[in-house]
Amino acid sequence: MKRSEVIYTLLKIVTDGTAIFLAILSAYALRISFYEFDFLNRSFQLFPEPISSYPLLAFLYFTFLCTSFLLVVLAINGRYEIPKKEPFHREVASLFWSLSTGMALVLVYFFFTQFTFFSRLIFGLAWGIAFVYIIIGRLVLRALKQRLNRKGLGRTQVLLIGNHEKVTLSVIDHLKNDPEYGLVGIISSENLPSIDFEKKIITGHINQLRAILESNYINEVWLAAPHSEKLNHEIAKIAHSHHKTFRLFPDEIALDLAGLELSTFHDLPLVTLKNNNLNGWGLVLKNIFDLVSASLILVILSPVLITIALIIKLKNPKAPIIYKSKRVGLNGRIFDCYKFRTMVPNADELKQELIEQNERKGGILFKMADDPRITSFGKFLRKSSLDEFPQLFNILKRDMSFIGPRPHLVEEVQKYPEELKQVLSVRPGLSGFAQINGHSQLSFEEEMRYELFYLKNWSFSLDLLIFLKSFLVVLRSNNQ
């Protein structure tokens, strides 16, 4: 455990406590003293005039007790674990639910003790203001931490183990751009080329691991190119014996570890490798979200969709408005995937003539930057992603979901390696994890890596993140 991590966590507690304390006082001031104000010679009233005024000294005592209790609730919910590294959106979601839980418990206490509360409005205002103040405090702390990291203070020093492979080079690129980490060295079972990184890199052979750990300041050992199981265990054992954190970047097959579930069968230990993480109430919530959102969006965008349909029909009255493509869905079931027609009517026949001009790496998926089959209006629909909106009907028919793996063609799925067909264990999506991480620029192998990661690490919050980022991807493509 690094000293900087302890200090950072203590600062979280201090800023959260200050934020909550000031939020409750702000709510008190709004309700008691600033419930009305004058602006441009006009009087505005935010809230009804308070019937009675709760004494400030008594309220300060309550504020201190309430702040202390809410900090305990946040701690129980894991907000002050050391170390606690998570994306900001996940931190915000966890803080929201933790704070809401704490406030709800305070209300329950008031109810059962029949406490004569001074104002329900103060309590509601305090909850909203506290959440805003806490987020501001966390943003300030993150900015301060990044500033210190860029100056070399508080960095996590990493020793990377990896061969001259894609995963290793990708990890190195990310380390170069992440101020939180410093790369101490790279060691390998092969002879790696010299890599200039801040002019203080250590390169060596994996046999030198013990000596390097003993003679250098290192916090963590990262394995980016898994070797044999025996050698992996040996590396982990050496790292732990030198009191270093050990982390491993799995390959596509090792990603199955993300779906690991431990249980017992009578008195025997049992390990389950889950095919995907979509199950239980999470899957129910995902299905409800799909149906409700698809219905609302169809109603809101119906004028736009009708206009697009009319334009397509006017440009070619004999051609269909909707293009139906046979796609492979849940458990390998074939379904008609709907899109606005963006190509000439004989596009499928022309594809066979263009197959040699495929620009998509891997040879399984077909993609051309300047596909001659696409109409002028079709180019606009594709660039704006409006051609995909008829798939909202696929969502209502339960053929698809809002978020999921890309729905692939039958002939593409027939070329899949057997181990990759597990992506068919969930409904395909209108958007997905691969789409927001490169989409058509990805090779087939890269796309499958993203799809498998999504299956093994699914959560409803991840779906919401992909849902929101999909709009940003569309807007970015329109601005280019």
What's the chain's average pLDDT?
80
Q: Assess if residue 455 is contained within a domain.
A: yes
What's the pLDDT tens digit per position in 340-377? Answer: 988 877 666 666 656 555 555 555 555 666 667 778 88
Q: Do 332 and 456 lie in a common domain? A: yes
Q: Do 106 and 11 lie in a common domain? A: yes
Q: Do 59 and 35 lie in a common domain? A: yes
The residue out of 150, 171, 197 marking a domain boundary is: 150
Q: Do 345 and 401 lie in a common domain? A: yes
Answer for the pair 103, 124: CB distance below 8 angstroms, yes or no.
Answer: no
Confidence of residue 253 (pLDDT cuts 50, 70, 90): very low
Residue 15: predicted pLDDT: 96
What's the pLDDT tens digit per position in 100-126? Answer: 999 888 888 877 776 665 567 778 888
Q: How many CA atoms lie within 13 A of 151 on its CB side?
A: 6
The lowest-confidence range among 185-189, 291-295, 298-302 is 185-189
Q: Do 330 and 384 lie in a common domain? A: yes
Tell which wins on pLDDT, 96 or 195: 96
Answer for the pair 479, 460: CB distance below 8 angstroms, yes or no.
Answer: no
Residue 263: predicted pLDDT: 62
Q: Is 226 left (phi over 0), alpha (psi -120 to 50) or beta?
A: beta
Q: Do 73 and 192 lie in a common domain? A: no
Q: Do 129 and 162 lie in a common domain? A: no
> Between helices 280-315 and 460-479, what is the axis angle to 10°?
30
Q: Can you list the alpha helix ranges (DSSP code H) found in 274-346?
A: 280-315
Type of residue at 287: N
Coil vs helix vs strand at 343: strand
Q: Which residues, other chains included, contact 94 with Cβ-Cβ below 8 Å and sequence gap of 6+? A: 77, 78, 79, 86
What's the pLDDT tens digit per position in 62-76? Answer: 889 999 999 999 999
pTM: 0.54
Q: Do 297 and 190 lie in a common domain? A: no
Q: Do 133 and 182 lie in a common domain? A: no
Closest CA to 428 of 371, 468, 385, 388: 388
Q: Assess if residue 254 is contained within a domain.
A: no
Terminal CA-CA length for the chain: 45
Answer for the pair 385, 432: CB distance below 8 angstroms, yes or no.
Answer: no
Answer for the pair 281, 258: CB distance below 8 angstroms, yes or no.
Answer: no
Q: Do 121 and 172 lie in a common domain? A: no
Q: How many CA atoms lie within 13 A of 130 on its CB side?
A: 29
- Count of domains observed in the chain: 3
- Expressed as residue numbers, the domain containing 419 is 280-479
Residue 455: predicted pLDDT: 83
Q: Do 114 and 177 lie in a common domain? A: no
